[in-house]
A and B are shown apart, each in its own frame.
Chain A
Amino acid sequence: MRPFKYERATDAAAATKAVSANSSAKFLAGGTNILDLMKEDVERPTALIDITRLSLSQIRSANGGVSLGALAKNTDTANHPLVRQNFPLLSMAILAGASGQIRNMATNGGNLLQRTRCPYFYDVAMPCNKREPNSGCAAMEGLNRMHAIFGWSEKCIAVYPSDMAVALAALDATVKVQDANGKERTINFGDFHRLPENSPEKDTNLTNGELITSIEIPKNNFAGKSYYLKVRDRASYAFALVSVAAALETNGNKIKNVRIAMGGVAHKPWRAMEAEKMLVGKEATEANFKMAAEAEMKNAKPLEHNKFKVELGKRAIVRALSMAMNGDKA
């Protein structure tokens, strides 16, 4: 690991100033991803601003929804009574990710900012447009079994790894951020992460020095019928091949409202808008779930080694919606 200066921030303003003043400075929260990337020489910050002592770890009720402090630990978020009771989809998604130890360290803000686990991004001997702009993409012609089937570009086919973010996308969350001048703004979750296009080095639409202060989830009526399904190579502690966050609000057996987001398929959490549109007003039957899944997945553009993700995605959508409908975890 390269040498860096360690500073402990005492307030958010000072932290954002320190990072915006130095383009090679980074915030340090749980550290579970950035320290690993520094050991691999992928991230090379000259200064780490430790923000873990800032008071941004509150989880509280807000307008019938919930406000999640950026520095609340993943474990505390998943287990907070407000979250478990009203947004079990988020609890399930968080608990599907990483391990007990890592969830105890990782923060909500940091979870959103974790970087792809594309092996070519991690291997500094390989070209990677995300790591080093315009160096090429080794995954395109390489082993791309784990890679994207939606929204990729010639520059980058990496997928975004977070489970938590998939649930947040489905729940129409917003992200509150603050810049070095103390100016705050709210970003819709769908606009927080970006597709790779021509600049895959940028994972999000944050500007340098902007600090996530909280994540807000609006009130909804999905609590009784939601499910996070994660399909992976081993039963636990592995990144998703495909994951689906599904939430339903029904009137009798008729679908009043539905949210479907997918993980492991794109450079950002993939909201299955096509499938959602098809399902509203329909009966919650397996046949309809299948039809919606087909509609969503027909737009997929698989790569050489990940064609299986198209069929897997279809089945995962149907399965997640069925589990949600059964109130399996409620």
Chain B
Amino acid sequence: MSKNIKLMQGNEAIAEGAVIAGCDFFAGYPITPSSEVAEILSNKLPKIGKVFLQMEDEIAALGAVLGAALGGAKAITASSGPGISLKQEHIGYASMCEIPCVIINVMRGGPSTGLPTLPAQSDIMQARWGTHGDHAIIAITPSSVNESLYETIRAFNLAVKYRTPVMILTDEIIGHMREKVVIPDKNEVEIIDVKLPDVPPEKYNPYNFTSGKVTPLAPMGEGYRYHVTGLIHGETGFPSQKTDVIQNAENWLIDKIYKNIKDIEKFEEFQLEDADILIVAYGSTSRSARQAIMMARAAGIKAGMFRPITIWPFPEEQISSLSKKIKKILVPEMNMGQVILEVQRNACGSKVYGLNIVNGEPITPDQIYAKIKEVSEL
């Protein structure tokens, strides 16, 4: 690995990761606590011949990103709660038209303008179900500044590979905190580039519901002509109301993600071998959980952690198999109970407890430790 180590902010690490991933285009509208992503890319991208656009609002920003992506660009936008609410219309369009893009959500307290400068993890379900209609989404929850950089690179790769919007869900803590980052050289990380289709334009279909493989999105301007619409469409891209086409199109949007879950999933296990209490924690809360687990172990309570890094698709299989061995599960999160719903759905026979703190401060190790102790005595 390179020895290029820097003290960096989470938002800065996302910008750095985007550049390493080969990002060609950013469009956005500033909003706390995500603005540094835009600020830093506005400086970096033009210097390397890439495009930075500040748009008139968040909807237009994602619109511009999708346009750029249809032109073959690796494109990204960054926002937070209220801005992500506005983007939902275009997130659905990106899902339906299978346009790769990366969407950063540095989560803050909500609903509405909520708490601009304070952290929350309250957009987990919004990331999954914020736009209407059946669809799948990939979302990633980094828990450190270093991970923010590497997961942004992975987000671009997954977006291109599966032609889907990929969300990075950090929060005000990870976004604004500074810690050490090891900056890789381009040749030290896997980077998936936008490819031309392997068929000539006259044989190209922009969608492929039947082969099980994701067709490369032909960049506009390369001679490949096709139709892009938010209406349900067949493999040529033109709208269709045939029942079999509709069913295939709907199945495909889900299947292309869920049938490749092994490639998309990513998680960390911490001290689970002999654990009697399973903590499921993600993002910044997992840092406190790790410290609380060490406190619990020192006090003789065997706790361990499962930390989803890819939060959507949810690691159903892992939770289900862990719940067969561990009968008490604790889900601490900075919201009123979102990931706990997924855990409950998959943990058959285990008792699932929540620790939900939404007071603008990160959940502390002491708070989680106190809850572990309480659960261990139940």
Q: Are A and B physically bound partners?
A: no
Interface residue ranges, A against B (CB under 8 Å): none
